[in-house]
Chains A and B, each alone.
Chain A
Amino acid sequence: MFQGLGAIVYKETRHIIRDPRSLFLMLVIPGLELTIFGFAVNLDIKHIKTGVLNQDKKVESRALLDQFVNSGYFDIVEIYNSEDEISTAMRRGDIKVAIIIPPNYTERISRGDSANIQVLIDGSDSTVAMQALNVSNAIGLRASIKVMGSKLPIPSELPVDIRPRVLFNQDMRTANFMIPGLVGVILQVVVMLLTSFAIVREKEQRTLEQLVVTPVSRFGLMLGKLLPFLGVGICETTSVLLLMIFLFQVPIAGSVSLLAFFALIFLFTTLGMGLLVSTFAQNQIQALQISFVILLPSFLLSGFMFPQETMPTIIYWIGQVVPATYFIRILRGIILRDAGFWDLWHNGAILAIMGVVIIIIATFRFHKTIG
């Protein structure tokens, strides 16, 4: 009944040992990924990027800001001088919360009057927004009690009157935040896999061997392979965006043509990654294995699921080399916050530079493989 069991087990073990690439993927990568992603997976929302416009600038207002910082939920990353600067920063995605302290804050508090503190919250990420809302309300209450404790009579309004205002995704729908990110991640994975498969197939079926002895040029071959997939990528982007709008009811607040422009840059970079993967893989299974290594960070470190601010520094930087990170920022910027070209151009520029570098490396390696 078990005839040959021992022989097969022995042979199979040999296969595993003889294939160092798969062995590496089997033993090292899971441990590495668990370590990296274990740190990244963090649903406690702390260290929310916060900007401040302090028109009061006196001790009392600084004390209030200290309370925000000491709560651990807000990291003040920038001090602004006008409301215009603040709204730009929020559109760009530089800050998620802005605290605006009125000019006469210290004066009103010492007089026993009520002072309005505006807290602007980016509602794109409903979880972050909800947290920011609750914590800032609590801070307002605590500061008020402290003020009231030393002074009487009790005023009709709270002295430190925190007035949160949710910008963008006002009704704080989770779908509005998740779906655009999902669009970015899905495109990254599918386009990269398709491209790498198409090129590896030529190696697998040995058709590349025939092609290299023809006068086909290196760029003719590479561009010729990439262009049809750019077409496929454009169709895919269009279809997932249409699904997003009509099935999931996530409207695009900003310019569609701007989104299309950045999407083209992203597709270019992703095609390059597919090309690069194909230079490492000898067959489609290997291409899939390598892509898998790139796939997880695209999901977990790109800011798609977990806010990048809370990640430990090293892991944060790993997230910064994933192209999906920048495209997700662009998608959320345009779809949720009506961000314009100048709000997002740096993300596009990084994507483009990444694309160029990846294509150069891939071209170099590609030439070596066929040589």
Chain B
Amino acid sequence: MEQPPAFSHRDSVIVVSELTKVFGNLVAVDRVSFTVKERDIFGLLGPNGSGKTTLIRMLCGILNPTSGNASVLGYDVLRESEEIKRSIGYMSQQFSLYSDLTVIENLNFYAKVYGIPKKERKGKLEEVIEIVGIKPYLNQMSGSLSGGWKQRLALACALVHSPKLLFLDEPTAGIDPVARRDLWNLLFELSARGTTFFVTTHYMDEAERCSHLGYIYFSKLIACGTPEELKRIPNVTPEGFRRHELRVERLTEAMKELLKLDFVGDATMFSDVIHVLIKEGYAEEVKIYLVRNGFNVYDLREIPPTLEDVFVSLTRSFKG
């Protein structure tokens, strides 16, 4: 999908066209195309097993595509995978550093693996230590760090060679909310310095923070664009319908009642509210109907769709 023209002066960092990967009978990635530009934070969303990891592995040059093309930082994923590996950073969802090496030993190891000359190594390491703020833990065994610090160390290791592009595969899975926020602030800081990010996540609040989003479902990229663009997709709020937030008692029963009405398009339950698609002008009818059936309605108001609404609707319409 094309980026808005306002951003076109930036270089394309990732260009993917009709990329496909087949494992035996399974099409893991099906004709996926998109572009990521410099300084984007591109978030890739999708359920487990939808093809996210396969797509990342192809872009990192460790898995050959079955057909289609992709270039990363101007290098072809098929022919120039070694150049790609040299110029990108990668951080996986699980801690994949050596837990029996200290923080500084891990950093040194990756600096050497990326072939940073001995003279520059010390300065470079000091720089990444400064960025992620891991100085107090340098001599601690990596395995004994908390989840958040482990991820910061992994980020530091992925940054030692100053990559222009960083792949983060569910970087915040399993870490506490404060550490998660801190890590994202760090990503914004790096993005402001010119780093491009390709992130996969399950968290909607993280998706909101991305500059661009792609939604992959059953191996296909079914939506791509900025969060605002995605919220405006017609499928999300069908013509003639309005999205409402309903606060009501006995949510589960209320929801069953709602779905019986023909002027209700869809209803999704959240922890204490229901998001309902109601035909234009029928909001009052819904309220009256619920009250008449013995439900206490606290509030019913029109709202813009959230990203979660977007993905739920996209998934439903794709299935339908």
Q: Chain A interface (Cβ within 8 Å of chain B)?
A: 205-216, 370-371
Contact (A215, B114) CB under 8 Å given A209-B92, A210-B97: yes
User: How many angstroms from the CA of A206 to the CA of B85 in the assembled complex?
Assistant: 18
Q: Contact between B62 and A212 (Cβ–Cβ < 8 Å)?
A: yes
B18 at the binding interface (Cβ < 8 Å): no
Q: A213-B85, A370-B62 are in contact. Are A206 and B110 (CB under 8 A)?
A: no
Contacts of A208 in B (CB 8 A): 96
Is B295 part of the binding interface, using a Cβ–Cβ cutoff of 8 Å?
A: no
Assembled-state Cα–Cα distance A284/B70 (Å): 37
A209 in contact with B113 given A214-B85, A215-B82 (CB within 8 Å): no
* Bound CA–CA A210/B90 (angstroms): 7
Chain B residue contacts of A215, Cβ below 8 A? 82, 85-86, 113-115
Query: Chain B residues with Cβ under 8 A from A216's Cβ?
Result: 113
In angstroms, Cα B113 to Cα A213, docked, is 11
A371 to B65, CA, bound (A): 12
Which of B62, B88, B97, B113 counts the most A-chain CB atoms under 10 A from its CB? Answer: B113
B77 within 8 A of A: no
Q: Which residues of A contact B88 (CB under 8 A)?
A: 213
How long is the Cα–Cα vector from A209 to B98 in the complex, in angstroms? 12
Instruction: Indicate if the CB atoms of A207 and B97 lie closer than 8 Å.
Output: yes
Alpha-carbon distance A210/B167, docked complex (angstroms): 12
Q: Which residues, 23 to 82 on B, are CB-close (under 8 Å) to A?
A: 60-63, 82
Whether a CB of chain A sits under 8 angstroms from the CB of B211 is no
Given A205-B99, A206-B96, A214-B110, is A371 in contact with B63 using a C-beta cutoff of 8 Å? yes
B94 at the interface (CB under 8 A from A): yes
Chain A residues, CB < 8 A from B94:
206, 209
Most B-side CB within 10 Å, residue of A207, A213, A370: A213
User: When the two chains form their complex, are residues A207 and B114 in contact, meaning their CB atoms are under 8 A apart?
Assistant: no
- Nearest chain A CB to B115 CB, angstrom units: 7
In the complex, residue of chain A having the shortest beta-carbon distance to the beta carbon of B143: A205
CB-based contact A210/B85 at 8 Å: no
Taken together as a complex, chains A and B put the C-alpha atoms of A212 and B110 apart, in Å, by: 12
Q: Is the CB of A214 within 8 A of B114?
A: yes
* Cα separation A211 to B154 with both chains bound (whole Å): 12
Q: Which B149-200 residues have C-beta < 8 A from chain A?
A: 154, 157, 167
Shortest Cβ gap from A81 to chain B (Å): 62
| B interface residues, Cβ below 8 angstroms from A | 60-63, 82, 85-86, 88, 90, 92, 94-99, 110, 113-115, 154, 157, 167
Name the residue in B63, B92, B154, B157 with the highest tally of chain A Cβ atoms < 10 Å from its Cβ.
Answer: B92
Chain A binding site: helix, strand, loop or mixed by DSSP? loop
- A211:B62 contact, CB within 8 angstroms: no
Main secondary structure of the interface of B (DSSP, over half): loop
Chain B residues near A209 (CB-CB < 8 A) = 92, 94, 96
By a CB distance below 8 angstroms, the chain A residues around B98 are 205, 207
> 15 pairs across A/B with beta carbons < 8 Å?
A207-B98, A209-B92, A209-B96, A210-B96, A210-B157, A211-B113, A212-B62, A213-B61, A213-B167, A214-B114, A215-B85, A215-B86, A215-B113, A215-B114, A215-B115
Q: In the docked arrangement, what's the CA distance between A344 and B62, Å? A: 45
- Which of A210, A214, A370, A371 lies in contact with B92, CB distance below 8 A? A210
Compute how far the CA of A95 lies from the CA of B222 in the bound complex, rounded to whole angstroms: 76
Q: How far is the CB of A58 from chain B (nearest CB, A)?
A: 74
Inter-subunit contact A206/B92 (CB<8 Å): yes
Q: Which residues of A contact B95 (CB under 8 A)?
A: 206
List chain A residues, Cβ under 8 A from B157. 210
Q: How far is the CB of A367 from chain B (nearest CB, A)?
A: 11
- Decide: A371 and B85 in contact? CB cutoff 8 A: no
CA gap between A264 and B85 in the complex, in Å: 35
Contact at B60–A213, with CB atoms within 8 Å?
yes
Q: How far is the CA of A215 from the CA of B160 in the complex (A)?
A: 13
Residues of B with C-beta under 8 A to A214? 85, 110, 113-114
Closest to A213 in B: B90
> Chain A residue with minimal CB distance to B91?
A210
Measured CB to CB, the nearest residue on chain B to A208 is: B96
**CB-defined contacts of B92 to chain A, threshold 8 Å:** 206, 209-210
- C-alpha spacing A206/B98, complex, angstroms: 9
Nearest CB of chain B from residue A207's CB, rounded to whole Å: 5
Given A206-B92, A209-B96, A210-B154, 17 other A-B residues pairs in contact with their CB atoms under 8 A = A205-B96, A206-B94, A206-B95, A207-B96, A207-B97, A209-B92, A209-B94, A210-B90, A210-B157, A212-B62, A213-B61, A213-B62, A213-B85, A213-B167, A214-B110, A215-B113, A371-B62
Nearest CB on A from B95, distance (A): 8
CA gap between A215 and B81 in the complex, in Å: 9
Closest residue of B by beta carbon distance from A210: B96
8 smallest A-B Cβ distances: which pairs? A210-B96, A213-B90, A206-B96, A215-B86, A215-B85, A214-B113, A213-B60, A209-B96
A313-B96 Cα distance, complex, nearest whole Å: 49
Question: What is the CA–CA distance of A225 and B98 in the complex, to the nearest angstrom?
Answer: 14
- A342–B123 alpha-carbon span in the complex (Å): 57
CA distance A160 to B36 in the complex (A): 97
Q: State how many angstroms separate the Cβ of A283 from the closest Cβ of chain B.
A: 15
Q: In the complex, A346 Cα to B9 Cα: how many Å? A: 69
Question: Which residue of B is nearest A216, CB measured?
Answer: B113
Q: Which residue of A lies closest to B90 (CB)?
A: A213
Complex Cα gap A228–B51 (Å): 38
CB of B87 to closest CB in A, whole Å: 9
**What's the Cα separation between A329 and B296 when bound, in Å?**
91
Cα distance A213–B157 in the bound complex, in angstroms: 12
